[in-house]
Amino acid sequence: MTDLYKELQKVIDRKQILRDEKMSKHTSFKIGGPADFFIDIQNVKELKFVLELANKNNIPLTVVGNGTNLLVSDKGIRGIVIKISISDFKVVRKKDKAEITISSGYSVGKLAQLALKEELTGLEFLAGIPGSIGGAIRMNAGAYGSQMQDIVISTRYMERDGKIKKLNLDEHKFSYRNSIFAEMQDVIILETVIEAKYGDAKDIKLKMDEYMKSRIEKQPLNLPNAGSTFKRNGDIITAKLIDECGLKGYRIGDAAVSEKHAGFVVNVGNATAKEVLELTNYIKDTVKKKKNIDIELEILKIGEI
């Protein structure tokens, strides 16, 4: 591992390389054991170098964004974890719309603010969504009736061998909280091109404020969580099922079903991944038993089992 550390420093500043780094520092859940190496990637050159090094030495590689929908194992993650912090953008204005090329490390909420500044509408639903663009593309993030698939034009990504490829909209195979990138485990999203229409700053801000107010009123933003814990089941609202099963406030250790919104599992203290999984399994079993409906996790589980 010492040799690997020295190799990494040939291209990457040592301040960007953390050893035995607790993943709880890098997830919105504040849960997760240590990563052998945690590297903050600032540009494509660094990314290519790490990929080559990992391939040459057969080192496991895990890619994360802002860690907002992740549950990391208490044992942590072996090998190299890379966080993509590339956050460039470019706005091209056309006759009837604008196209924004945005890097995968760019914050989703920051993109909403950029659209407001540029007086571009259609991205208001992104206001308040945590995470990075790469993660939003991977899971087709959405809110208030809109999803990433409504605004994406194309996406560029890098394969493990360093080759860069591009997908057009239909090739993303977007579906509810899913895309082809969920199946393509060995690729890394670099940037996406999205479209927006011209609008009025006052109207855009009004809608964004409305969405943010709704989030604050309805979601447990005061406690660490990973967003919606379970996917919607077609037209069935999963949070409503959980509430009807009397599970609001139910807890195992420091993992609890939010009193404010039953669709969120929250960390009320020092919850472990084990406690979260025990709780989510209990929720699934209870909903199945009382409602005869199967519900599916929306948060992603990663790390050593």
In contact, 186 and 156? CB cutoff 8 Å = no
Do β-strands 17-22 and 34-41 pair in parallel, antiparallel, or remain unpaired? antiparallel
The mean pLDDT of the chain is 95
In the CATH scheme, what is the code of domain 2-84?
Answer: 3.30.43.10
What length does the chain have?
305
In CATH, what is the architecture of 89-218? 2-Layer Sandwich (3.30)
pLDDT above 90: percentage of residues in the chain: 90
**Cβ neighbours around 189 below 10 Å, total:** 26
Catalytic residue selected from 177, 191, 195, 275: 177
In CATH terms, is domain 238-302 a member of 3.40.50.300? no
Query: pLDDT tens for residues 128-140?
Result: 888 999 999 999 9
Spatial CA neighbour of 266 closest among 3, 31, 12, 18: 31
User: Which of 73, 107, 228, 258 is labelled catalytic?
Assistant: 228
Instruction: Give the global pTM.
Output: 0.92
Q: What is the pLDDT of residues 238-252, one digit of tens each?
A: 999 999 999 999 999
Q: Using one digit for the tens of pLDDT, what is the confidence trace for 75-117? A: 999 999 999 999 899 999 999 999 999 999 999 999 999 999 9
Q: Would residue 24 show up in a list of annotated catalytic residues for this protein?
A: no
Q: Is 228 annotated as catalytic?
A: yes
Q: What is the mean pLDDT of residues 147-164?
A: 96
In this model, does residue 34 exceed pLDDT 90?
A: yes
Q: Which two tokens stand for residue 240?
A: 């409503």
Q: How far apart are CA 102 and CA 106, in angstroms?
A: 7
φ and ψ at residue 304, rounded to 5 degrees: -70, 130
Residue 186, Cβ density class (10 Å: 0-12 exposed, 13-18 middle, ≥19 buried): exposed
Break the chain into its structural domains and give their ranges.
Answer: 2-84, 89-218, 238-302
What is the model's pLDDT at position 239?
Answer: 95
Cβ–Cβ under 8 Å, residues 143 and 212 = no
Report pLDDT digits (tens) over 193-216.
999 999 999 999 999 999 999 999
Average the pLDDT over 283-289 and give the result: 97
pLDDT at 1 exceeding the cut of 90: no
Query: Which residue of the set 21, 118, 191, 298 is catalytic?
Result: 298
Residue 298 catalytic?
yes
